[in-house]
Structure 1
């Protein structure tokens, strides 16, 4: 009997070790879901669009799209979420340029056919390269807009390089908090290599902050976005009944108005 118990215990420990070890080893494959190309040229997406290359501090060359507007009231750095590529954000660029804002659609390392592998440190370098590009090119105040994971990326950037405004869409408290919701059987906070502490970062941001989220978000709980907003003393835009990837967060009026109003551009 004791031998059977010992064997059973050993099997259970082995299974737990395999599960935890696999979760640790392959966690970034679960977090980052990039799509490659081929992609159209920026001018094919929107007349006047430019294909640009951002050079990071660690030597990567990242393809992105820049949509300049003459006499723009502001320029928006768009930091995407964890999935897809910049083509998914084309409707956002069309809507914002129509309201008089220049837009830079960033693709992180590993996304949209770009070289490199995504990580928290890597994405921080990527948005710094994007910010440097806009600071040189835009000739207008900079607005950082981040969606979901991208909210954490630009919140960290805003602490070091303050924008004129920061707009966060569906932000989470930190990566472990949202990960624990989806993997309750794992010690997520202990396993994670990337932290993305959005709430802690926004509390140190000096620029005006707007937080936009859906009341029915099944990926990032609405209460987490509210916690981020409270930490930043932010303007809150809650979209009733909206889920994480609903069209409202592609180019819906609540989102576009939040970015335009946050930028200080006059309403149209």
Structure 2
């Protein structure tokens, strides 16, 4: 083949191949950037190395390493009541945290559940968060949640307890997905400042690339699959990250037969709704209403 013929035959393929490689590389970068916007395990600085311990809050605990279905090792805190008899008679709260930090940063919340409500508490640092292995993705976090639920329901003490799942922001999406698939194993859902899905948030921070969204978290679809357990919605009216209409729409979409409750905090922003007056009083009243024969205080 002559050089001219070779050039005419191969050059277009090289151009097409090179363009495809550039496009593919660009899409890969966009996916990576997207995930870095959704999952921020390195913020605040040092969050991958320093994970506060429950003992710093006067809470007894056992650190546990779980291996997920896809062979990733994640770390959890298991905080049981002081005796086996007490632990088996009190509810267990599974805490799913938001997109930043690690489980140790939510210990002030665990402290209220443990000390005020006398609950057992289980906390998890998702894959890629805290000292857990791996890289955070939607599918990966769902597998993490499944592994923690299986641990609780196989534990010789916790398996018999009422299970409350508490999720903030991204943690709310994790909680909704878990319950949509495992409702028979869970008794109550508490949501704070969570979203309908990721594509409906991305335009604020990453415009024009919704068609490339690989992380969906379709809570607006999943919440309709929850049929029987009661749901408490805790919403900060001044949430500047997740507009309040996300929570309002999730509330409207929920059709659980055990009822739902809406609590709004007029001064609550994305990060400080949990600090608003009477926040835990509302939580306690909801738990007391839906766990028959159990006293919160």
TM range (shorter): 0.7 to 0.9
Q: Cα offset for 1:257?
A: 3.3
Among 221, 228, 244, the residue aligned to 1:222: 244
Among 48, 62, 65, the residue aligned to 2:74: 62
Partners of 1:171 and 1:211 within 8 A in 2: no
Tell me how large the CA RMSD over aligned residues is.
2.2
Larger radius of gyration: 2
Between 21-30 and 134-143, report the one with greater CA deviation: 21-30
CA distance in 2, matches of 1:210, 1:245: 18
Q: Cα offset for 1:258?
A: 2.1
Q: Deviations over 1:167-222 (max 9, x none)?
A: 11111111111122333x3232x111110011110111121111111000000111
Aligned partner of 2:149 in structure 1 is 131
Aligned: 1:212 with 2:234: yes
CA distance in 1, matches of 2:97, 2:52: 18
Unaligned runs of 5+ in 1: 1-16
Over 3 Å counting, the alpha-carbon distance change for 1:208 and 1:141 in structure 2 is same
CA distance in 2, matches of 1:32, 1:256: 31
Q: Cα offset for 1:251?
A: 8.3
What TM-score does the superposition give when structure 2 sets the normalisation length? Answer: 0.77
What TM-score does the superposition give when structure 1 sets the normalisation length? Answer: 0.85
Aligned partner of 1:112 in structure 2 is 130
Over 3 Å counting, the alpha-carbon distance change for 1:223 and 1:259 in structure 2 is farther
Q: Deviations over 1:144-175 (max 9, x none)?
A: 11110111111011011111011111111111
Q: Cα offset for 1:252?
A: 6.0
The DSSP-based 3-state class of the residue aligned with 2:268 is coil
Over 3 Å counting, the alpha-carbon distance change for 1:159 and 1:116 in structure 2 is same
The alignment of Structure 1 onto Structure 2 pairs a total of residues equal to 249
The DSSP-based 3-state class of the residue aligned with 2:31 is helix
Aligned: 1:101 with 2:119: yes
CA distance in 1, matches of 2:276, 2:55: 19
Aligned partner of 1:175 in structure 2 is 198
Query: Relative contact order (C-alpha < 8 Å, sep 6+): which is higher?
Result: 1
Q: Deviations over 1:56-105 (max 9, x none)?
A: 11112211111112345311111111100111100001000111111111
The DSSP-based 3-state class of the residue aligned with 1:249 is helix
Q: Cα offset for 1:225?
A: 0.5
Unaligned runs of 5+ in 2: 1-22, 42-46
Over 3 Å counting, the alpha-carbon distance change for 1:62 and 1:213 in structure 2 is same
Aligned: 1:73 with 2:87: no
Aligned: 1:198 with 2:219: yes
Aligned: 1:166 with 2:189: yes
Aligned partner of 1:13 in structure 2 is none
Q: Cα offset for 1:259?
A: 6.2
